[in-house]
Structure 1
Amino acid sequence: MYFKAITGAVLAVSLSIVPVDTARADAGDFIAGAIIGGIVGANAKKQRSTTRTYKKTYRPSIPSTHEGRNIQASLNYFGFDAGAVDGQLGRRSRDAISRYQAYMGYPVTGQLSAFEQNLLISSYNRAQAGGYAVQQQVAANPDGTRGLLKTYRAEMAGQSPGGAPAPQTTIVVAPQPVPQPVPAPTTTVAAAAPLAGAAGLAAAVAPSTGLPNFMGAGTQASLASHCNTVSLITNTNGGFTTLASMTDPNIAINEQFCLARTYAIAKSEELVSQISGFTPDQIAQQCEGFGPAMKDYVSSLSLKPRDAVVADVSSFILTTGMSPAQLAGTARICLGVGYRTDNMDVALGSALLLFAMGEGVYGELMGHHLSQGFGPAKRVDMAASWYEAALAAADSGAAAVFVPGQPERTELIRAAAQRMGGAGALPQPQPASGTGLPTFSISK
């Protein structure tokens, strides 16, 4: 009902998609400039430009990548001039990276480490989502916009921007004697306050401390704060976990979870930039309609088998009256919006729509959410089947939608999920037999 209200309210809205030479609609549903269905109207008409400009293009000497565009856009936002956002990390981009590293106190190499890149892009995404509050931070910071980088890094470490430990993090240490009796419930409620800080969150989920676990069922924890903590741990450990270095599969899964979240946000913002006539805030408001429409399906993840959930979502898709391309475009945008606004119903609901429409690689997200308890109740056992579907899609040649530049990522998730789940071995990639029928990918 909510979903139909959202789509019906904008049926008369028409948009034109302005061609962008450097844009890459690799999602597959932006066909000939098709608009985002369900957000801007299922029957919107594409306006035609009366003039056309032709310009001669040259093949770049440096490959253009989506990851490169994210890096350049982030550097430019924080005042490290990387030039045009063309995805080509040439000399100007390397010089900007060096200035970023010098400002943050990192070794000046002109090459981003995994942590430096994650901090840069995640800080950019956070600043974009912050609205007026970010403007106030920038105005109060002597370093202006780039000062946000140090502010966010300090918050990840559970510190104030000046380097002193955040006062609220001291509440979650071991119980101390008090001069007069204090009711136990009051102590428990007070301990929940540090969840806004990364250090408090880390202490809350630390094993064998006797402290309450705020990440369990019944508590809607902040995934953004959780990923700040994960980034801090990654930095402390000297970089992202690899197959060779993995000792704790939970750390590996959380690193890949937060990387997928970052990529989903970046992809959403890329698609939003191709829509004219609506501001990002207006589109985000429209995406909020996914929450009520998909809430029950998200909750059922921890209650029903994977196939039953998919059957329910597929039935829902048939009632929307939207084309697959429109619905997929909407879901890709709202997936990132949900993560950016910390709305798990919107994010997971969008991922479920994409999975039910045949994009099995998105099953990874349901696996992550179930294994960590964000959105649905924590069910590591039920996460295994979603990981299985995502890995099977990757083994069959489906294009990576998260962190495509990390070649061993599929095997890392496979090994970590198998060690965490304890529910039998996940499927292993099978070598081609050479006797099977060919498989073709048809694009419209």
Structure 2
Amino acid sequence: MQFKAITGAILGASLIFIPVERAQADAGDFIAGAIIGGIVGANAKKQRTKTYRKKTYVKKKTYRPKIPVTQEGRSIQASLNYFGFDAGAVDGQLGKKTRNAISQYQAYLGYPITGQMSAFEQNLLISSYNRAQAGGYAVQQQVASTPDGTRGLLKTYRAEMAGQAPANAPVMANTIAPQPAPAPVPTSTVVAAAAPLAAASGLAAAVAPSTGLPNFMGAGSQASLASHCNTVSLITNTNGGFTTLASMSDPNVAINEQFCLARTYAIAKSEELVSQIQGFTPDQIAQQCEGFGPAMKEHVSSLSLKPRDGVVADVSSFILTTGMSPAQLAGTARICMGVGYRTDNMDVAVGSALLLYAMGEGVYGELMGHHLSQGFGTARRIDMAQSWYQAGLTAVDTGAAAVFVPGQPERTELIRAASQRMAGVPAAATLPQPVPASTGGLPSFTISE
């Protein structure tokens, strides 16, 4: 009996030590190759379970879905942090800390505290951040003169959008661009906009004074596109949100909303790419981009003079003289387009869009349509805008990825319907297809992946 007990003890001890050695071997295999180690470990565990005939308790791990990372999220977080609402790391994931920061932002401006921003709240936040970044020393002076510091800029910019001066705020020069400011929009106009805008077709005229005659030298409107988009955002918010196909009563309102959304997306994309560039500061990049405005001015001017195909042919010929690779040129154009919009330099912004279009990215035809229909950076030519709109829409119809507001499902049809109504084109009419072109470049920035 004692012999059996001793034998059983020895046998049990041997069974205890064998699995430990096997487990150590599995660990080594896992380090060398995770797949092989995982299979061996699973089989060994299964065999031990059968040998001991004991219940095996497996601790289940719960994997929570990862919050998606988006450039829009990064822009929101960077803007919140700049104005003192702590959103944490700028990682593009709108988690709990970011929602708390959004709630603080909403509370500060007197909006309903939901942790989720409306389209107007988001546009006010990001456009204010972009404006503050472009303002330089003048913005620093403005911050120092307000009791709320950096946050005070939000109330200042919002009041300016409404055509009002904030209380106890000094009168500041336009810090976006050294261009004459547009005529202020009377407060009564904004209040009246609570109802659908029956006379909203004059929206562009309110912020972009007419010159009376088309300017065929290409100077175009000198009004600030940033100020124009601030006014558009305010009216959109007053009307209860963006125009949809079902609610569209004035096509010019819909076009202006989509124009300003595209501008915001272009600025955000530019900032994303700038963050990946090695060896250049944002200010240095902006200076480089400003430098090629004169090189593209002639091509921007020709938008109101030549048919689309003629403009594209000229830009394509120019591209061939640059000697840059397609990747360098495309990356540079995306960067400089956002810089141009942020600094209100239309030659840079529109010129960059023309380069991308001429390189075969037809979706950017939308931007030339917007500029021609509203008269920013070029003479206002609604008749010529339709061809560019159609080119951009055709690119999307044939499978090109949307680069502006990709989450808005009816955006393509909204722009199609609005642009055709503005030009008096029947809905069933079709225009020539966009012409793809060759590649080339201007200032060269290498973007690290």
Q: Could you say which TM-score interval applies, normalised by the shorter chain? A: 0.7 to 0.9
1:129 counterpart letter in structure 2: A
Between the aligned partners of 1:211 and 1:242, the Cα distance in structure 2 is 23
What's the TM-score, normalizing by structure 1? 0.73
1:252 matches 2:239: no
Q: Which residue of 1 aligns with 2:84?
A: 79
Task: Give the counterpart of 1:214 among 209, 216, 239.
Answer: 209
More RCO (CA 8 Å, sep 6+): 1
1:388 is matched with which residue: 373, 387, 390? 390
2-structure distance, mates of 1:253, 1:284: 28
Distance 1:154 1:211 in 2: 17
Aligned to 2:362: 360
- The 1:195/1:304 distance shift into structure 2, 3 A limit, reads same
Q: Which residue of 2 aligns with 1:229?
A: 231
Counterpart CA distance in 2 for 1:108 and 1:146 is 17
TM-score between the two structures when normalised by the length of structure 2: 0.72
Contact in 1 for aligned 2:252/2:418 (Cα 8 Å): yes
Contact preservation (8 Å) 2:333, 2:353: yes
Decide whether aligned partners of structure 1 residues 233 and 163 sit closer, same or farther in structure 2, where only a CA change above 3 A counts.
farther
Q: CA RMSD in A?
A: 2.8
- 1:365–1:199 CA distance, 2 compared to 1 (3 A): farther
CA distance, structure 1, for counterparts of residue 399 and residue 201 of structure 2: 38
Answer with 1 or 2: which has the greater Rg.
Answer: 2
- Match of 1:302? 304
Aligned partners of 1:307, 1:426: CA distance in 2, in Å? Answer: 22
Q: Which digits, 9 at most, give the CA deviation of each residue in 1:279-317, with x for residues without a partner?
A: 211111111122111111111101111011001100000
Residue 276 of structure 1, CA deviation? 2.7
Q: Residues 214, 196 of structure 1: CA spacing in aligned structure 2 closer, same or farther, 3 A cutoff? A: closer
Q: Which amino acid aligns with 2:148?
A: D
- 8 A Cα contact 1:156 1:199, kept in partner: no
Q: How does 1:132-211 map to 2 (within 5 A)?
A: 132-162=137-167, 195=182, 197-199=184-186, 207=202
Aligned-partner Cα distance in 2 for 1:379–1:362: 18
Identify unmatched segments of 5+ residues in structure 2: 1-62, 174-178, 191-199, 216-220, 431-448
In structure 2, what residue type is equivalent to 1:118?
Answer: N
State the Cα distance separating 1:109 from its structure 2 match: 0.8
Which one-letter code corresponds to 1:225 in the other structure?
S
TM-superposed CA distance for 1:423, in Å, is: 3.1
Letter of the 1:214 counterpart: P
Supply the AA of the counterpart residue of 2:420.
Q
Secondary structure of 1:275's aligned partner: coil
Distance in 2 (alpha carbons) for counterparts of 1:251 and 1:97: 28
Q: Is the 8 A contact 1:154 1:163 kept in 2?
A: no
Q: Aligned partners of 2:326 and 2:105: how far apart in 1?
A: 42
Aligned to 2:445: none
Corresponding residue for residue 12 of structure 2: none
Tell me the distance in 2 between the aligned counterparts of 1:104 and 1:320. Answer: 48
- Identity across matched positions, percent: 80
| Distance change in 2, residues 1:207/1:267 (3 Å) | closer
Give the whole-Å Cα distance in 2 for the aligned partners of 1:295 and 1:426: 35
Match of 1:96 among 88, 97, 101: 101
* Deviation of the 1:257 alpha carbon: 0.4
Distance in 2 between residues matched to 1:412 and 1:380, nearest whole Å:
17
- Equivalent pairs counted in the alignment come to 345
Q: Tell me, what secondary structure is at the counterpart of 1:243?
A: coil
Structure 1 residues 212 and 115: alpha-carbon distance in aligned structure 2, compared to 1, 3 A threshold? closer
Q: Distance in 2 between matches of 1:161 and 1:211?
A: 21
Q: Which amino acid aligns with 2:123?
A: N
How far apart are residue 244 of structure 1 and its match? Answer: 1.4
